[in-house]
A and B are shown apart, each in its own frame.
Chain A
């Protein structure tokens, strides 16, 4: 079974600084997708960034980028120039490209952004 592990329950970053959230996963599949989702206190989950396993290039979306290490099964999220609005729960998630489309989530990292 696939598992996703986030070992940092909470992280804190100062405004304008950079923070990295960690995620590791376990799978026997070779073709899959990895995601970072943001869940603000209002609870609506929002996709931050997506990585396709067959692509070696790390995905980037504005201030958000990932470090995808396929052999190590590691998928970290870097947030640059942190803003107050980045404060939220961040979930790492996995799905494989078979017929089952479900997402497997980690337990989340709560990010605080301080002035």
Chain B
């Protein structure tokens, strides 16, 4: 079937605007992850869902970041009052279960530029 998809692929926001980034995981995958990848860096963990339950949000950098997965499939990462330091590629990944045993499949990412 189809892989992980993300939309939009590119987003330009003015400082202070709110943005919403969407992730469509592979059908049937119970685990969903969000990562933030700054330019020239490796991805950094933001948050993790198992079905609709957000089990780990320790990587969210501030209370301006919020993620949800209300029906256990599509997920949305919302950033309120965007700042320049939020500029990065936001990657979504899904897997059948725990990361070690099951491969994480990544989407193409959303490149967010805050001006």
Contacts and interface: CB of A to CB of B under 8 A. Distances in A.
B100 A107 contact: no
A102 B42 contact: no
29 contacts: A32-B100, A42-B108, A44-B106, A44-B107, A44-B109, A45-B91, A47-B104, A50-B103, A52-B100, A91-B42, A95-B99, A97-B101, A100-B56, A101-B31, A101-B100, A102-B33, A102-B45, A102-B48, A102-B99, A103-B33, A103-B35, A103-B45, A103-B104, A104-B45, A105-B43, A105-B44, A106-B42, A108-B40, A108-B42
Given A102-B56, A105-B44, A108-B42, 17 more contacts: A4-B42, A32-B100, A33-B99, A42-B108, A44-B108, A50-B103, A93-B42, A95-B99, A100-B48, A101-B33, A101-B48, A101-B98, A101-B99, A102-B33, A102-B59, A107-B40, A107-B42
B108 A97 contact: no
A103 B45 CA distance: 7
B9 to A, nearest CB: 9
Contacts of A25: none
A99 B103 contact: no
Chain B interface extent, by class: 20 to 34
Contacts of A42: 108
Contacts of A47: 103-104
B53 to A, nearest CB: 12
A29 to B, nearest CB: 11
